Structure 1
């Protein structure tokens, strides 16, 4: 085994450069990671999960209460949008809920 000695100034300079390199690599890794795919569900799933009729779900879409996307004629919802919708509904008073 061979031992190599370096002076403290050189060691500190090398450590600063390594720290810079480490931070830069972290930035590049974060930048180039694939984006998390969002979970999409269809109308049938939403109706079953929330206990809604298709017509009620359609009303929520038409009034802008629930965001959606149409792909090749089929309607899909982001799970995150459904969760946001449920949180907003829970904030409403009972009188406001009856109007929905």
Structure 2
């Protein structure tokens, strides 16, 4: 397949134009991300990936009341600040070991 320089440039311009459109679309999605009271909301998928836990573990944290959640139109959401608080409370540093004096 042999294409001339002008045709190649035209293809590249179309590709770049589409990439620019995708970039604009992604920026719009970031701006319109779900929030409540100005605070970002995370959904189940966000949390599963962030915490690297199973769906069942996430359900257990909700059921036990350790992780507050909100239901909006049948979908579960978590405030980012609540997730940070949950992490601080759940994953504390292990106690330091005392060295034996000899």
TM-score interval (norm. to shorter): 0.5 to 0.7
Write the distance in 2 (CA, Å) between the matches of 1:93 and 1:59. 23
Aligned to 2:90: 89
CA distance in 1, matches of 2:78, 2:88: 16
**Length-normalised TM-score, structure 2:** 0.53
Deviations 1:27-50 (A, max 9, x none): xxxxxxxxx601101011100110
**Gaps in structure 2 of 5+ consecutive residues:** 1-36, 96-102
Alpha-carbon deviation of 1:91? 2.7
Q: Which of the pair has more CA radius of gyration?
A: 1
Partner of residue 46, structure 1: 47
**1:69 matched to 2:81:** no
Normalising by structure 1, we get a TM-score of: 0.54
Q: Any runs of at least 4 consecutive aligned residues in structure 1 with deviations exceeding 3 A, and if so which?
A: none
Structure 1 stretches of 5 or more lacking a match? 1-35, 95-100
User: Over the residues paired in the alignment, what is the CA RMSD in angstroms?
Assistant: 1.8
**CA distance, structure 1, for counterparts of residue 63 and residue 93 of structure 2:** 19
Deviation at 1:90, TM superposition (A): 2.1
